Amino acid sequence: MTPTTAGPTTGTTTGTTAGTTRAEYCVIACADAWRGDGEVLASPMGLIPAAGARLARRTFSPDLLLTDGEAMLVGPDGAAEGWLPYRQHLAMVTGGKRHVMMGASQLDRFGNQNISCIGDWARPDRQLLGVRGAPVNTLNNPVSYWVPRHSPRVFVEKVDMISGVGYDSAAAAGPSATRYHRIPRVVTNLAVLDFETPGHAMRLASVHPGVTVEEVQAATGFPLALPEGGEVPFTREPTPEELRLIREVIDPKGTREREVPSA
């Protein structure tokens, strides 16, 4: 199960980081979600977001707080530096000192997210987790999303049960909902998306090297806005040091390659 080091199907990689896998671009794109966040809790859900948070903590966002997934705050080496049981975690959410990257079973054009159930809520076709903390998260601290398999089943015109609140729903609910509402980015196995448009409709911010704009659009159940000028950049390259940290320090077993296999 050694991770492949074969390069992506494009010639855009630089000499120093040639052989960067799709999973590694995803780690970089997740890490960048926490860039400039300062002294807040990075709450990643998923292997690749967790690697991204740890990379950000070790490099450009050294003030980030990380948890061990239970109740302890830990440094990059895993040593405890604080205590964060669920009750205080929930208080940290409403205090705003947190940036979470959640998963999404469905996500729509304005960032409404569903992790509760598929189909009619009263008697669902597929019961999933439940809304969990998505309603409180989205109204109180920045919420980004991670989608390891970008498809029209996830990116839908309308979600079945709004768990995480999107821009249009927050606006409709009024100033108490919009006051601290922000969705910085959505990272998928294909691309980075954001809501940097006048009406907060989802925009294709970058495609990972090896992916085309057409592929992303085809995997999305609604039309995506494009950056001004219509030119979609590639997701940035990792620095050689970032790549070393990912491969040798943060995820030496290559679990990232199982979450997003290379094509």
Partner 1 sequence: MTDQSRTDRSTTGRSTTDKTMTPDEVVARLRSGMTVGIGGWGARRKPMALVRALLRSDVTDLTVVSYGGPDVGLLAAAGKIRKLVAAFVTLDSIPLEPHFRAARQQGAFELEEVDEAMFMWGLHAAANRLPFLPVRAGIGSDVMRVNPRLRTVTSPYEDGETFVAMPALRLDAALVHVNRADRRGNGQYLGPDPYFDDLFCEAADAAYVSCERLVDGFGSDVVPQSLLVRRHAVTGVVETPNGAHFTSCVPDHDRDEAFQKMYATTPWPEFAERFLPPDGDEKQYQSAVQAWHEEQK
Is the Cβ of residue 63 or residue 126 nearer to partner 1 in the bound state? 126
CB nearer to partner 1: pick between 12 and 176: 176
Which two tokens mark 239? 């620095």
Distance (Å, rounded) from C-alpha 29 to C-alpha 248? 19
Is 103 or 184 the residue whose CB approaches partner 1 more closely? 103
Name the amino acid, one letter, at 12.
Answer: T
Question: What's the closest the beta carbon of residue 103 comes to partner 1, in angstroms?
Answer: 10
- Closer residue to partner 1 in complex, CB, 39/86: 86
Binding site for partner 1 (CB under 8 A): 70-72, 83, 85-87, 90, 93-94, 116-117, 121-136, 138-140, 161-165, 169-170, 172-177, 179-181
The sign of the dihedral angle between the CA atoms of 38, 29, 114, 250 is: negative
Name the residue nearer to partner 1 (CB basis): 171 or 213: 171
Please give the Cα distance from 195 to 215 (Å, whole number). Answer: 20
Give min distance, CB of 24 to partner 1, in A.
25
Rg (CA), the chain: 18
Q: Give me the least distance between CB of 118 and partner 1, in Å please.
A: 10
Q: Name every residue whose Cβ is closer than 8 Å to that of residue 237 and which is 6 or more positions away in sequence.
A: 13, 14, 17, 20, 28, 209
Element at 196 (helix H, strand E): none
The distance of closest approach from Cβ of residue 180 to partner 1 in the complex, given in angstroms and rounded to an integer, is 8
Shortest distance (Å) from residue 61 CB to partner 1: 25
Rounded Cα distance between 240 and 144, Å, is 26
